[in-house]
Amino acid sequence: MNQSHQVIQTAQQLGREGIAYALVTVLKALPPASAKPGDKALVTQAGIIEGWIGGGCAQPAVIKTARRALVDGCSRIIRISPAEEGVERELDDVLEFGMTCHSGGTLELFVDPVLPQPTLTVIGDTPLSRALSVLAPRLGLPT
């Protein structure tokens, strides 16, 4: 099974379990980066990565950005390139991180949060609970 199929299977499993994750896709890679455009990975809030978006040099910035995206639900583009370690700035809607390794290379990645569908738990048998039970499916909320 290739890497893309594994990422898709893991995404489906996380979706069934109601676990939020960020889908990270390599947009651009300049040598000597080990990732290639189109490489993908899933990152959970716990920082678990499934897939490939580059080696250990890229992972801290990717995990940090994925966690932010999972909190606010906003997609981001990040660039990881040789610079002073720990540098983080935003330029033209791209969040830039300094490479933490000396190997060089530049990566641009798209970080897209995938959040579980909210559910509505209705407890009791009151006019309000009955009304919510009727309205929830109309709003696309499972009960």
Q: Has residue 68 been placed in a domain?
A: yes
Reported pTM: 0.82
Q: Has residue 40 been placed in a domain?
A: yes
The pLDDT score that the predictor gives to residue 127 is 93
The pLDDT score that the predictor gives to residue 110 is 98
Q: Has residue 44 been placed in a domain?
A: yes
Q: Has residue 16 been placed in a domain?
A: yes
Q: Has residue 124 been placed in a domain?
A: no
Alpha-carbon distance of 5 to 19, in angstroms, equals 19
Q: Has residue 131 been placed in a domain?
A: no
Percent with pLDDT over 70 in the chain:
95
Whether residue 8 is predicted with pLDDT greater than 70 in this model: the reply is: yes
pLDDT tens figures, 23-60: 999 999 998 888 999 999 999 999 999 999 988 888 99
The pLDDT score that the predictor gives to residue 28 is 96
Mean pLDDT, the chain, rounded, equals 89
Number of domains in the chain: 1
Q: Has residue 126 been placed in a domain?
A: no
What does each C-alpha distance from 40 to 8, 90, 129, 140 come to in angstroms?
10, 23, 43, 29
Give the position of tokens 């390599």: 26
pLDDT tens figures, 74-88: 999 999 998 766 667
Range of the domain at 23: 3-116
Amino acid 33 reads A
Q: Has residue 139 been placed in a domain?
A: no
Cα R_g (the chain), whole angstroms: 19
